[in-house]
A and B are shown apart, each in its own frame.
Chain A
Amino acid sequence: MRRLAPMLLAALAVLAVACEKKTQPTGEGGGQPAAQVPAVAQGGGTPAGDDVIVLGEVGALTGGQATFGISSRNGIALALKEANAAGGVKGKKLVVRVYDDQSKPEEAAQAVTRLITQDKVVLILGEVASSSSLAMAEKAQAAGVPMITPSSTNPTVTEKGDFIFRVCFIDPFQGFVMAKFARENLKLNKVAVLQDNKSAYSIGLTEVFRQKFAELGGKITVTESYSQGDTDYRAQLTAIKKTQPEGIYVPGYYSEVGVIARQARELGLKVPLMGGDGWDSEKLFELGGSAIDGSYFSNHYSPDNPDELVKKFIADYKADYNGAVPDALAALAYDAARVAIDALKRAPDTSGPALRDAIAQTKNFPGVAGVITLDAKRNAVKSAVVLKVADGKASYVTTIAP
Chain B
Amino acid sequence: MSQLLQHLINGLASGTIYALVALGYTMVYGVLKLINFAHGDVMMVGVYMGYATAFALGREAQRSLWGVVIIFAVAMGGCALLGFLIERFAYRPLREKPRLTALITAIGISFALSYGFQLDIGFLPGASPRAFPEVIVPTEWFIIGDRDVVVWNWQVISFLIAVTLMVTLQFLVYRTRFGKAMRAVSWDHRTAALMGIPTDRIIALTFMLSSALAAGAGLLYAIKDTSVSPLMGLYVGLKAFVAAVIGGIGNVPGAVVGALLLGLVEEFVVGYAASTWRDAVAFGFLILVLLVKPGGLFGRVAAEKV
Contact = CB atoms under 8 A, between A and B. Distances in A.
A touches B in complex, CB < 8 A: yes
Contact of B129 (A67, A225, A236, A241): A67
B188 interface: no
A255 B152 CA distance: 24
Interface string B1-19: 0010011001101100000
Interface of A: 61-64, 66-67, 69-70, 197, 224-227, 229-232, 234-236, 238-239, 241-242, 255, 258-259, 262-263, 266-268, 283, 286-287, 289
Nearest to B9: A234
Contact of B127 (A67, A197, A258, A267): A67
15 contacts: A64-B231, A66-B127, A70-B126, A70-B127, A230-B235, A231-B221, A231-B227, A232-B224, A235-B275, A236-B275, A239-B270, A239-B272, A259-B225, A266-B152, A283-B128
A231 B10 contact: no
Contacts of A61: 118, 127
Interface in B210-250: 221, 224-227, 229, 231-232, 234-235
Contacts of B235: 229-231
Nearest to A286: B131
A356 B138 CA distance: 56
Contacts of B231: 64, 229
Interface of chain A: mostly helix, strand, loop or mixed: helix
B118 A232 contact: no
A62 B124 CA distance: 13
Interface of B: 3, 6-7, 10-11, 13-14, 115, 118, 120, 126-131, 138, 147-148, 150, 152, 221, 224-227, 229, 231-232, 234-235, 266-268, 270-272, 274-276, 278-279
A224 B118 contact: no
Contacts of B271: 235, 238-239
B277 to A, nearest CB: 9
Contacts of A263: 225
Given A235-B268, A235-B275, 4 more contacts: A62-B118, A231-B232, A232-B224, A239-B271
Contact of A231 (B126, B128, B225, B266): B225
Q: Which residue of B6, B231, B268 has the most chain A CB atoms within 10 A of its CB atom? A: B6
Contacts, number: 102
Nearest to A238: B6
A378 B169 CA distance: 62
Contacts of B275: 197, 224-226, 235-236, 239
Contacts of A230: 235
Contacts of B274: 225
Given A67-B127, A70-B120, A259-B226, A197 B276 contact: yes
Contacts of B147: 268
B278 to A, nearest CB: 8
Contact of B226 (A229, A238, A262): A262
A267 B131 contact: no
Given A255-B229, A259-B226, A266 B150 contact: yes
Contacts of B232: 229, 231
Given A225-B276, A242-B3, A235 B266 contact: yes
A235 B267 contact: yes
B225 A267 contact: no
Contacts of B152: 266
B233 to A, nearest CB: 11
Contacts of A242: 3
A309 B201 CA distance: 63
Contacts of B10: 232, 234-235, 238
A236 B270 CA distance: 6
Q: Which residue of A242, A268, A283 has the most chain B CB atoms within 10 A of its CB atom? A: A268
A234 B226 CA distance: 13
Contact of A258 (B14, B131, B148, B224): B131
A268 B270 contact: no
B156 to A, nearest CB: 14
A66 B126 CA distance: 9
A128 to B, nearest CB: 12
A237 to B, nearest CB: 9
Contacts of A258: 131, 227
Nearest to B148: A268
B136 to A, nearest CB: 13
B7 A66 contact: no
B91 to A, nearest CB: 25
A258 B7 CA distance: 21
Nearest to A226: B275
A62 B226 contact: no
B281 to A, nearest CB: 12
Nearest to A67: B128
A238 B227 contact: no
Given A197-B276, A235-B10, A283 B129 contact: yes
Given A235-B10, A235-B267, A239-B270, A287 B225 contact: no
Nearest to A65: B127
A242 B120 CA distance: 42
Nearest to B128: A67
Given A227-B279, A238-B3, A267-B6, A286 B130 contact: yes
Given A62-B127, A267-B150, A268-B147, A259 B227 contact: yes
Contacts of B6: 234, 238, 267
A254 to B, nearest CB: 9
B3 A287 contact: no
Contact of A235 (B128, B270, B276, B279): B270
Contacts of A234: 6, 10, 13, 267
Nearest to B143: A268
Closest 10 A/B residue pairs (Cβ): A66-B127, A67-B128, A235-B270, A231-B225, A268-B147, A234-B10, A225-B276, A67-B127, A225-B275, A224-B275
Contacts of A232: 10, 14, 224-225
Nearest to B273: A239
Nearest to B234: A229
Given A197-B276, A238-B10, A242-B3, A62 B115 contact: yes
Contacts of A286: 130-131
A238 B5 CA distance: 10
